[in-house]
């Protein structure tokens, strides 16, 4: 689909929203190029087709009766051929018109925020979230870092956290989601969460309280149990039965105002296990150096770890 058609679909989606009127920005965009007006007129005309409106109304009734939102697979297949796929998934298109709420922290900083829907979010250091709360969907992009979510229950608006590695979708629960070492790791504290790796066709896993799994490179790991009573990053600790030095350092950099880097790739692949205190990252890496036999060098840009 061309850029002009995608933009036209978003403007059409806004016009379909009774609370969002066409404004001067739309007129400026529409008159900027002949292709803009042509694309919008085609999409808008098709959106007013009574048959299409009736099909979408019936589909919406079915979704409401099932109390969950599903993609309009048969309808979307036909609309793609007409270049109207965005209109077929109106909830997602509407969500794209919502201005995101940006939440972020600096290294070593924690932040607790309450979203307008009542969801509580705790951000680890060096974390950034972009929050969009639409009329039919709630979506958060985990740009970087780690966050704990206590989601306000709302069956009419599914709650999804997305990242390049995959996504986690819930209706109401409490869970932790971390982006590190090229993977998206989910730990469920309460309720049920569906973890899906990136890609159009993929398996998914439904995790319940006390279960953990991660998505990486389009694949899912095995689901494993974890101790719900163990301390976690919110209390300043990391307890693990095995993690690479690269991942541990990535985790420490969210707590450390001084950057820590690994100069030796083999050292980055070395696995360590134990209970690590995260609020003193520089002391921790120096202690690990004594145990595992590597060097810690101070430079103007931070600490460098090497053999």
Quote the pLDDT of residue 45.
65
Count CB-CB contacts under 10 A for residue 213.
Answer: 19
Write the DSSP symbol of residue 238: E
pLDDT means per 10 residues, the chain with 307 residues, are: 70 57 70 81 62 52 54 47 49 70 94 96 96 90 96 90 93 89 93 88 88 94 91 85 88 91 92 87 92 93 93
Both tokens of 291, joined, read 């145990």
Same-domain pairing of 19 and 78: yes
Domain end, chosen from 30, 62, 96, is at: 96
Quote the pLDDT of residue 29.
78
Percent helix, percent strand, percent coil in the chain, to nearest 5: 35, 35, 35
Same-domain pairing of 26 and 57: yes
Same-domain pairing of 139 and 32: no
Quote the pLDDT of residue 36.
84
Same-domain pairing of 210 and 296: no
Q: Give the helix/strand (H/E) hosting 170.
A: strand 166-170
> For residues 245 and 267, is the Cβ–Cβ distance under 8 A?
yes
SS3 at position 222: coil
Domain end, chosen from 96, 115, 138, is at: 96
d(Cα 248, Cα 252) in Å, to the nearest integer? 6
Same-domain pairing of 130 and 215: yes
- Structural domain count of the chain: 3
Quote the pLDDT of residue 203.
84
Same-domain pairing of 107 and 90: no
Upper half-sphere CA count for residue 81 (Cβ side, 13 Å): 5
Both tokens of 137, joined, read 């969907």
Same-domain pairing of 220 and 127: yes
CATH number, residue 147:
2.60.120.1440
Same-domain pairing of 136 and 221: yes
> For residues 152 and 112, is the Cβ–Cβ distance under 8 A?
no
d(Cα 46, Cα 67) in Å, to the nearest integer? 28
Q: Which residues pair with 214 in a beta bridge?
A: 185
Same-domain pairing of 275 and 188: no
> For residues 178 and 212, is the Cβ–Cβ distance under 8 A?
no
Domain end, chosen from 161, 190, 225, is at: 225
Same-domain pairing of 109 and 213: yes
Look-up: residue for tokens 């694309």? Answer: 39
Q: What is the dihedral of CA 22, 23, 24, 25, to 10 degrees?
A: -80
Same-domain pairing of 63 and 87: yes
Quote the pLDDT of residue 190.
94
CATH number, residue 253:
3.55.50.30
Quote the pLDDT of residue 273.
87
Domain that includes residue 43, residue range: 3-96
Which among 244, 237, 239 is positioned nearest to 226, based on CA atoms? 239
């Amino acid at each position: 689909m061309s850029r002009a058609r995608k933009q036209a679909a978003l403007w059409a989606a806004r016009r379909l929203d009774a609370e969002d009127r066409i404004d001067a920005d739309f007129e400026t965009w529409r008159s900027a190029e002949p292709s803009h007006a042509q694309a919008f007129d085609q999409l808008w005309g098709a959106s007013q087709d009574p048959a299409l409106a009736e099909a979408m109304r019936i589909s919406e009734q079915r979704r409401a009766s099932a109390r969950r939102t599903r993609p309009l697979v048969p309808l979307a297949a036909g609309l793609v051929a007409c270049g109207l796929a965005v209109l077929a998934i109106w909830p997602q298109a509407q969500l794209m018109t919502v201005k995101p709420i940006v939440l972020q922290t600096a290294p070593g900083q924690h932040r607790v925020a309450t979203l307008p829907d009542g969801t509580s979010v705790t951000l680890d250091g060096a974390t950034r979230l972009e929050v969009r709360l639409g009329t039919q969907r709630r979506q958060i992009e985990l740009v970087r870092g780690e966050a704990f979510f206590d989601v306000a229950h709302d069956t009419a608006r599914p709650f999804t956290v997305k990242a390049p590695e995959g996504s986690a979708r819930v209706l109401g629960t409490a869970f932790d989601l971390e982006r590190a070492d090229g993977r998206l790791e989910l730990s469920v504290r309460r309720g049920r969460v569906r973890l899906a790796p990136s890609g159009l066709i993929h398996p998914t896993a439904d995790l319940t309280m006390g279960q953990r799994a991660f998505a990486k490179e389009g694949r899912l790991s095995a689901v494993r149990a974890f101790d719900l009573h163990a301390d976690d990053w919110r209390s300043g600790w990391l307890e693990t039965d095995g993690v690479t030095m690269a991942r541990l350092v990535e985790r420490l950099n969210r707590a450390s105002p001084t950057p820590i880097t690994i100069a030796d790739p083999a050292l980055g692949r070395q696995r360590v296990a134990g209970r690590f205190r995260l609020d003193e990252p520089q002391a921790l890496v120096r202690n690990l150096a004594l145990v595992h036999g590597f060097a810690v060098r101070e430079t103007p840009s931070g600490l460098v770890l090497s053999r």
